A and B are shown apart, each in its own frame.
Chain A
Amino acid sequence: MTAHANELAVDVRGLRKQYGDVTAVDGIDLGIGRGEVFGLLGPNGAGKSTTVEILQGHRGRDAGEVSVLGADPANGTRAWRSRVGIVWQDESAPAELTVRETVRHFARYYPRPRDPEEVIGLVGLEGKAGSRIKALSGGQRRRLDVALGVIGGPELLLLDEPTTGFDPAARRQFWELIRALAEEGTTILLTTHYLEEAEALADRLAVVTAGRIVAEGRPAALRERYGTEATVEWTEPDGAPRSERTDTPTRTVAALMRRFDGEIPGLRVSRPTLEDVYLRLTGQEDAR
């Protein structure tokens, strides 16, 4: 193990993966610092899950260099596995066991696990600790998945679409959990196709589409860089709605004021949201 404290938690260069004729990952570079929360954002089939599975060591790659916590995941040792926590997209847990039995049992796999009761509390399952897993709701099972992902006290947590199928309230609760883990210093990589989730959680995010990263940066910076154009909307006297995209909305509004001589009917000036930026970047603009 040749780990440096200041090295990147995840360092990926030129990653490629083909499935037959389909290129799932087409030259991805990623650098995730220690303690960072990084979001991999993109539509379904963009190559997010494949990328994460390669980082977990559960899928081979065709080309590229990958270093996760200083090691190549393709030859991950037991010691390495004990430092990486994984929450898959589709999980299942032993239905006949209780939450507490399962979390306690998984704790035994690790050299220095967290306290099982504390972890059960962290994911908000105290009230269900004695329940069989088959009796849990979808959201509760997902929280158990996270509990099993963090029970070993990982330095890096890989979450693949952690909140798919959650209702809004459950999603908010889940965000709090991720924030709490990030606060403790865990490096977190999460994939999601929910933009608001990436914006709420990630220090930095990369937008992936068709196996490539098309944009990367802090959420606010992305919005600024790709979304400077504002949209000015108003209503003509004959009732027809009009809109104009412009880099200088103030000038447009001033011109309108002169034309209408005062109040402009139906005036609205808007900046693109991160969602607009995202849809434009992933070529889904027409979907709106």
Chain B
Amino acid sequence: MTTTVVRTRADAVAERLPSAFGIGLQRGALELRQFFRQRDQVVFTFAFPVVFLFLFASIFSDDVEGAGITASQLYVPAMMAAGIMSTSFQSLGISIAIERDEKVLRRLRGTPMPPAAYFLGKIWLVLVTGLMETAVLLLVGTTLYDVDLPSDATRWFHFAWIFVLGLTACALLGIAISSVPKSGKSATSVVVLPFLVLQFISGVYIAIDTIPGWMLNIGALFPLKWMCQGLRGVFLPDSARVLEQAGDWEFGRIALVLGAWCVGGLALCLLTFRWKNRRDG
């Protein structure tokens, strides 16, 4: 008799476990609350790409020959792409490494929280912060550097999927790279160096027609180059297409590369994610 009673109770517990999606939403709200309470982090996260946009777009402002745009205009979509990557790849790569080091992850693993809820929470966090970052850069770009908001629905549609796929791919890569640093202290250096290199070879700081082809080809293996290219396609006039390697925006190829990175990044996360530090066994 006792056996039956206990078994029923255990089953009832299994049935009443809260859903991963629901907890994921709760975690997202919690992550955002934590993020916005660290005021210096908020200011620097959002200010960084804005300051860089201001510097580059003000220093390099000449007309680009034969493309019908100014160099300043080129920097607006480029910094937007970098901003998306910094709020996803960089912030997750660093913060998860620290959470692992400080045993926040281990504590979560000791509760019945489904692992997917943790990742959902992070996705909500980067979605909101990424949108805010993009909005700020767009505001600066349209008011100071003559970038026009797209007038047709097709371009807005391109913008939406480039944002979502780019953000997702970079977030997954950020989760994956968080397992590389040995401690929370080294996380910033480990994450920032590859991000900086990618920004140089993907056409963020330096126009793509100035970068050597072989560097550009390495950059083309990663999402950032395609995010920059796609956002140029959304926010620059078609006359600027001549500046691209292929002489075209290549939206189809961009979708393919970013989509592939989402799938590959997910696989990488599932294979490499650790709840504990290496030295904790």
* List of A residues within 8 angstroms of B16 by Cβ: 111-112
In chain B, positions 114-160 with a C-beta closer than 8 Å to chain A are 114
Are B33's CB and A81's CB within 8 A?
Answer: no
Q: In the complex, what residue of chain A is closest to B1 when comparing beta carbons?
A: A5
A78 to nearest B CB, angstroms? Answer: 4
Are B17's CB and A148's CB within 8 A?
Answer: no
Decide yes or no: A94 and B34 within 8 Å by CB, A79-B14, A111-B17, A112-B13 being known contacts: yes
Are A148's CB and B107's CB within 8 A?
Answer: yes
Are B2's CB and A58's CB within 8 A?
Answer: no
Partner of B110 from the list A5, A60, A86 (CB cut-off 8 Å) is A86
A4, A106, A108: which has the most chain B beta carbons within 10 Å? Answer: A108
Are B111's CB and A81's CB within 8 A?
Answer: yes
Are B11's CB and A78's CB within 8 A?
Answer: no
Instruction: Say whether A110 faces chain B, with CB atoms less than 8 Å apart.
Output: yes
Partner of A2 from the list B7, B106, B110 (CB cut-off 8 Å) is B7
Contact with A along B13-39 (1 / 0, CB 8 A): 110111000110011001001100110
B143 to nearest A CB, angstroms? Answer: 33
B256 to nearest A CB, angstroms? Answer: 37
Q: In the complex, what residue of chain B is closest to A106 when comparing beta carbons?
A: B111
Query: How many angstroms from the CA of A4 to the CA of B10 in the assembled complex?
Result: 11
A102 to nearest B CB, angstroms? Answer: 9
Work out how many contacts link A and B, with CB atoms closer than 8 A. 100
Are B23's CB and A5's CB within 8 A?
Answer: no
Instruction: Say whether A1 faces chain B, with CB atoms less than 8 Å apart.
Output: yes
A1 to nearest B CB, angstroms? Answer: 4
Contact with B along A185-212 (1 / 0, CB 8 A): 0000000000000000000000000000
Are A79's CB and B111's CB within 8 A?
Answer: no
* List of A residues within 8 angstroms of B271 by Cβ: none
Query: How many angstroms from the CA of A9 to the CA of B112 in the assembled complex?
Result: 19
Instruction: Say whether B210 faces chain A, with CB atoms less than 8 Å apart.
Output: no
Query: How many angstroms from the CA of A202 to the CA of B12 in the assembled complex?
Result: 32
Number of contacting residues on B, CB 8 A?
Answer: 35
* List of A residues within 8 angstroms of B112 by Cβ: 78-79, 81-82, 109-111, 152
Instruction: Say whether A90 faces chain B, with CB atoms less than 8 Å apart.
Output: yes
Contact with A along B238-281 (1 / 0, CB 8 A): 00000000000000000000000000000000000000100001
In chain A, positions 144-200 with a C-beta closer than 8 Å to chain B are 148, 152
Partner of A91 from the list B7, B34, B103 (CB cut-off 8 Å) is B103
* List of B residues within 8 angstroms of A3 by Cβ: 3, 6-7, 10
Are B38's CB and A82's CB within 8 A?
Answer: no
Q: In the complex, what residue of chain A is closest to B31 when comparing beta carbons?
A: A94
Query: How many angstroms from the CA of A91 to the CA of B102 in the assembled complex?
Result: 8
Q: In the complex, what residue of chain B is closest to A84 when comparing beta carbons?
A: B110
Instruction: Say whether B221 faces chain A, with CB atoms less than 8 Å apart.
Output: no
Query: How many angstroms from the CA of A82 to the CA of B14 in the assembled complex?
Result: 9
* List of B residues within 8 angstroms of A56 by Cβ: 110
In chain A, positions 1-30 with a C-beta closer than 8 Å to chain B are 1-6, 19
* List of A residues within 8 angstroms of B38 by Cβ: 96
Query: How many angstroms from the CA of A106 to the CA of B104 in the assembled complex?
Result: 13
Q: In the complex, what residue of chain A is closest to B16 when comparing beta carbons?
A: A111
A206 to nearest B CB, angstroms? Answer: 23
Per CB-CB distance, the 7 closest pairs between chain A and chain B, nearest first, are: A1-B10, A111-B16, A82-B112, A96-B37, A78-B112, A79-B14, A81-B112
Interface CB pairs A-B, < 8 A, 22 = A1-B10, A2-B3, A3-B3, A4-B2, A5-B2, A6-B2, A60-B281, A78-B17, A78-B112, A78-B114, A82-B13, A88-B107, A92-B103, A93-B104, A93-B107, A96-B33, A96-B34, A96-B37, A97-B34, A108-B22, A108-B26, A109-B112
Tell me the B residues contacting A by CB distance below 8 Å: 2-3, 5-7, 10-14, 16-18, 22-23, 26-27, 30, 33-34, 37-38, 102-104, 106-107, 109-114, 276, 281
